[in-house]
Chains A and B, each alone.
Chain A
Amino acid sequence: MAESHAKVQKAGGGRFCCICNEKRAALKRPKTLEQICRECFYTVFEEEIHQVIMENQLFKPGERIAIGASGGKDSTVLACVLSELNRRHNYGLDLFLLSVDEGITGYRDDSLETVKRNEIQYGLPLKIVSYKDLYGWTMDEIVKIIGLKNNCTFCGVFRRQALDRGAALLKVDKLATGHNADDIAETVLLNILRGDIARLSRCTAITTGEDGPIPRCKPFKYTYEKEIVMYAYFKRLDYFSTECIYSPNAYRGFAREFIKDLERIRPRAILDIIKSGESFRIATSTKMPEQGTCERCGYISSQKWCKACVLLEGLNRGLPKLGIGRTRVSGKDQKKDIKQSSGMKSIASKQCGSLDF
Chain B
Amino acid sequence: MQLTVEFGGGLELLCDSVKIHNVNVETPKGVQQLIMKDLLVWVQKNLIKERPEMFIKGDTVRPGVLVLVNDCDWELSGQLDTTLEEKDVVVFISTLHGG
Q: Which residues of A contact B (CB under 8 A)?
A: 2, 5, 8-13, 15, 24-28, 35, 70, 72-75, 111, 178-180, 182-183, 225-226, 228-230, 233-234, 240-244, 256-257, 260-261, 263-264, 354-355
Contacts and interface: CB of A to CB of B under 8 A. Distances in A.
Given A28-B73, A242-B97, A355-B99, A229 B63 contact: no
A179 to B, nearest CB: 7
Given A8-B82, A257-B63, A263-B63, A241 B74 contact: no
A180 B99 contact: yes
Contacts of A27: 72-73, 75-76
A26 B66 CA distance: 13
A26 B8 CA distance: 18
Contacts of A70: 98-99
B96 interface: yes
Given A229-B93, A241-B94, A11 B69 contact: yes
A226 B66 contact: yes
Contacts of A260: 62-64, 96
B13 to A, nearest CB: 7
Interface of B: 8-10, 13, 62-64, 66, 68-83, 85, 88, 91, 93-99
A8 B77 contact: yes
Contacts of B73: 25-28, 230
B72 A241 contact: no
A25 B76 contact: yes
Contact of A10 (B68, B82, B93, B95): B82
B74 A243 contact: no
Nearest to B94: A241
Contacts of B81: 2, 8
29 contacts: A2-B78, A8-B78, A8-B81, A8-B82, A10-B77, A11-B69, A11-B70, A11-B74, A11-B77, A11-B82, A25-B72, A25-B76, A35-B76, A70-B98, A73-B9, A73-B97, A111-B98, A178-B99, A180-B99, A226-B66, A228-B95, A233-B93, A241-B94, A241-B98, A243-B10, A243-B98, A244-B98, A256-B96, A257-B63
Contact of A242 (B13, B72, B75, B85): B13
Nearest to B85: A10
